[in-house]
Amino acid sequence: MPWPKTKTKSRRKITRSKTKALRQHQTLKAIAGLRPVLHKEPKMSLARMKELVNQLNEAAKAYYQEDREIMSNFDYDRLYEELEALEASSGLQLAGSPTAKVGYSAVDGLEKVSHEVPLLSLDKTKEGEKLKVFLGEHTGVLSWKLDGLTIVLSYENGQLTRAVTRGNGTVGEDITHNARAFGNIPLRIPYTERLLIRGEAVISYSDFEAINVDQQYKNPRNLCSGTVRQLDSNVVASRPVRYYAFALLSDAQPVTRSNQLNFLADLGFDVVEHQLVSVSSLEEKLAEFRQKISDFNLPTDGLVLSYDDIAYSASLGSTSKFPRDSLAFKWADELAETTLRYIEWNTSRTGLINPIAVFDPVEIEGTTVNKASLHNVSIVRQLELGEGDHITVYKANMIIPQVAENFTRSNTAVLPEKCPVCGSSTEIIKQKEGEALYCLNSSCQAQLIGSLVHFCSRDAMNIEGLSEQTLEKWVNKGFIEDFVDIFHLEKHEQEIKQMEGFGEKSFRKLMDSIERAKDVPLANFIYALGIKHVGLSNAKLLCASTENIMDASADDLLAVRGFGEAIVHSLLAYFSDENNRARVKKAQNLLRIKYPEINNSDRPLEGQTFVITGSVERFPNRKALQNFIEEHGGKCTGSVSANTSYLINNDAASSSAKNKKAQSLGVSILTEEDFLNMLENIPRPL
């Protein structure tokens, strides 16, 4: 059954060209300061402005605060521009309008920190000529506008002392514990003066694809944002987050922006790729950046042009929202009209069935495309898609094909009631980013092959020589029905040796690889099982904290540092399945699993929860103190709550937010010395 059609009136009868012409006409009249039709109907224009403010704020809240995307960049920009035009023509700006605000509030769970220098957003344009007018006779710095999470780093006496997210531009979140786990942030630099550095934390496209095999995340930014905000830095350490500096906020010797970037590079920072430009060279440099996009591995949503002269930049000041010394350039989306032929539904190893729009081939940004991911059921519904619909497509950030608009809106797409691979029943499940379709058959071949690929992967069992294509062949031949069968492939020796690509030597090499894989740490084996939400870092935490994992209770699992209800639910669901338990027990008899030692006699802090804040003196850093507590059975969290046993702060009398929260809850505040005095029989750190 197709979904019921939404009741719409004349907008479906308006052709694309008329819709576009109307939009352009109203925008141009607004820019020119004329009085368009909306002034004749002020109630209608006010209602539309309120509607736009609500839509855009909801989208911004989801994007910046909740790490999910409910509206494409294309739609956001279109609605934002419509709101700007309405405000320009009416002279009215509503309280709470996104045109008057910067970013979104910091999320709960991380300490909130006020920025010394407000982090304003950038005014933007899609017109190269406006960049020329902006630059004038000055020299500028043109650089990538990376699409990740903006973070300010503070250094004192050559040491990293704090890392804070942009937040709402005035107040951000303290993620210092996570920044120390980034792959390329210098923890110590050869410069003793105080430095404030602004940069972008990102996850590359290639790393994103390797992590996002189950398509749980919509894009690299969502994954990066969620990673950086983790309370447990072990999760961050397991993911390849990189930091690229793009501005020096504190006073330092270089007097030009380009020299500041060179100065940061000399100190050991990765800096954003940039070029010095003048009006005469601007067009050529824009073209050079544009040509790099198809092979550029970092997510970007355009470029930034800034004046090179720091003193001149400072003299310009800023508006209430934008600095006057920089301008963002967003590539004009190249739209292509085409016809949707059908929606392809692909089943992943977790059972998620992903919708893919298949359309008549079109050329966009120099390449031919005929498919675009629709991500989930909610997007299919929002676009009201159906076979034969007249649609427009584009490449988000000039990389990822997306469906922009559907002018037909036939709403005839049929949600598959059966899995396209195994024919089993499907179910719609509500998720963070909308509704998703799942296959209910855990033995589905698509899920089986995907789970086997994961089982053999490097961070899991690390079995070399078993590619996805090979596993698929052997599943089809009946050699493998579950992961246990991998360890019995010698039964099919003669048949395998006769297969293309396999002979005596290849078979022996594979058997040796499988034999080596039997020596596996418990955490890697747990990760190999492919339990939803249980990555390698969570598996290590689980194994270090829980002795009998298969029979652990919900309370046992919730006591594991960093574990929430989603992880606990996944673990309980997996080990309550008798088939899963049977497979795990068979594997235990076949493998030489290395179990971590859990010695409760050395865990005097068992059952106690600590929060650490401020600077430390007896330990090299807060992470070292956290490790010390965890080694002796304690648990560390990022925020004070009723479950906190102690807050460790060397400035016990400070009026910080955490101290106030601890005092209001009756939580004891200890200095490091107080804490160490509690532990009479534990060797103290040097």
Are 438 and 429 spatial neighbours (Cβ–Cβ below 8 Å)? yes
Residue length of the chain = 686
Torsions phi, psi for 473 (to 5 deg): -60, -45
275: CB partners within 8 A, 6+ apart: 141, 142, 143, 285, 288, 289
Angle between helix 445-456 and helix 468-476 axes, rounded to 10 deg: 130
What is the spatial distance between Cα 402 and Cα 322, in angstroms, rounded to a whole number?
Answer: 30
What is the spatial distance between Cα 571 and Cα 575, in angstroms, rounded to a whole number?
Answer: 6
Are 231 and 109 spatial neighbours (Cβ–Cβ below 8 Å)? yes
Is the sign of the CA dihedral 35, 36, 37, 38 positive or negative? negative
Six-digit token string for 129: 């000529």
Q: Kindly state the DSSP code that residue 4 receives in the 8-state scheme.
A: P
Question: Roughly how many angstroms between the first and final C-alpha of the chain, as a whole number?
Answer: 70
Which DSSP string corresponds to 466-509?
--HHHHHHHHHTTS-SSGGGGGGGGGGHHHHHTSTT--HHHHHH
Torsions phi, psi for 591 (to 5 deg): -95, 160
Six-digit token string for 627: 């490790």
What is the spatial distance between Cα 88 and Cα 99, in angstroms, rounded to a whole number?
Answer: 11
**Active-site position among 29, 101, 145, 635:** 145
Q: Kindly state the DSSP code that residue 577 receives in the 8-state scheme.
A: S
Count CB neighbours of 573 within 10 A.
Answer: 12
What is the spatial distance between Cα 547 and Cα 270, in angstroms, rounded to a whole number?
Answer: 42
Six-digit token string for 571: 């673990």
Which DSSP string corresponds to 395-426?
EETTTEEEEEEESS----PBPPSB-TTT--BE
Strand order in the sheet with 195-202: 159-165, 149-156, 195-202, 242-248
CA 414 to chain centre: 30
Q: Kindly state the DSSP code that residue 596 receives in the 8-state scheme.
A: P
What is the spatial distance between Cα 317 and Cα 358, in angstroms, rounded to a whole number?
Answer: 49
| Strand 326-329 to 124-125 pairing | parallel
Which DSSP string corresponds to 184-220?
S--SB-S--S-EEEEEEEE--HHHHHHH-TT--SSSH
145 catalytically annotated: yes
Helical residues (DSSP H) of 120-163, grouped into ranges: 128-135
Tokens 């009998």 belong to 548
Q: Is 119 helix (H, G, I), strand (E, B) or coil?
A: coil
486: CB partners within 8 A, 6+ apart: 452, 455, 456, 463, 466, 480, 514
Comparing CA positions, the residue from 111, 218, 232 lying closest to residue 567 is 232
Comparing CA positions, the residue from 227, 245, 225 lying closest to residue 235 is 227
520: CB partners within 8 A, 6+ apart: 461, 462, 528, 591, 592, 593, 594
What is the spatial distance between Cα 641 and Cα 231, in angstroms, rounded to a whole number?
Answer: 14
By annotation, the residues acting in catalysis are 145
